[in-house]
Amino acid sequence: MKRLSIFVSGNGTNLQRIAEFFKNSKEVEIVNVVCNNPKAYAIERAKNLGIPVRMVTKAEFNSPEFTKEMVDLDLDLIVLAGFLWKIPASLIQVYPHHIINIHPALLPKYGGKGFYGEHVHEAVVAAKEPFSGITIHYVDEIYDNGETILQAYVTLSEGETPDTLAAKIHKLEQAYFPVTIQQLLFWS
Ligand code: GAR
């Protein structure tokens, strides 16, 4: 059985899609959801999906005890699905190349601290970029910096708004994130 932990901070649409994708799998288990935001709708989703939720404060998250807890879970992959805190170096060191993130733009553009969710789409539309997309990448100790696993593109239309772009990006995320996870778990 491959063991996943999914880290979330917000709505949790990616969490939902990943959980549904692996729902009938006998080879993949989402052992928990780690959440840093008590107001995140992702908590509700995890409950409805029957996945235990581990709420964390910043101090807990950065403590050696939390890293130990994650090691004890014996995970095959940690998936950041809209998780907005920097991952502690200790966790990266115990799971090298086993933590991945999804970013709603074509990194290295529109990445780094402050570039998350709708802020990314606002900046892309304001700059009149011809394209945007998603980047799935390994997590290292710098925000949005690790090696790219996959990028997928969309074209911006005439009159594109941050909201319409967000909808296009969500479709890409839904299409590519679960299959990329599956590929990493079984074929890499
Ligand atoms: C997603 O669009 C994801 O790419 C983005 O947050 C959103 C979370 O949506 N991640 C980042 O901006 C990370 N820098 P969700 O909670 O509905 O899955």
Residues designated catalytic: 103
pLDDT in tens, 158-183: 999 999 999 999 999 999 999 999 99
Considering the four listed CATH numbers 3.30.420.140, 3.40.50.170, 3.90.1150.10, 1.10.230.10, the one that applies to the domain covering 2-187 is: 3.40.50.170
Q: What percentage of residues in the chain have a pLDDT greater than 70?
A: 100
Is ligand 1 within 6 A of the CB of residue 40? no
Read off the pLDDT of residues 125-160 as tens digits, 9 standing for 90 and up: 999 999 999 999 999 999 899 999 999 999 999 999
- Contact call for residues 6 and 81 (beta carbons, < 8 A): yes
**Residues 15-50: pLDDT tens digits?**
999 999 999 999 999 999 999 999 999 999 999 999
Q: Does ligand 1 come within 6 angstroms of the Cβ of 32?
A: no
Q: Is 13 in the pocket of ligand 1 (CB under 6 A)?
A: yes
Nearest to 169 by CA among 108, 106, 126: 106
Residue 184 has pLDDT above 80, yes or no: yes
Residue 143, Cβ neighbours under 10 Å: how many?
A: 18
Boundaries of every domain in the chain: 2-187
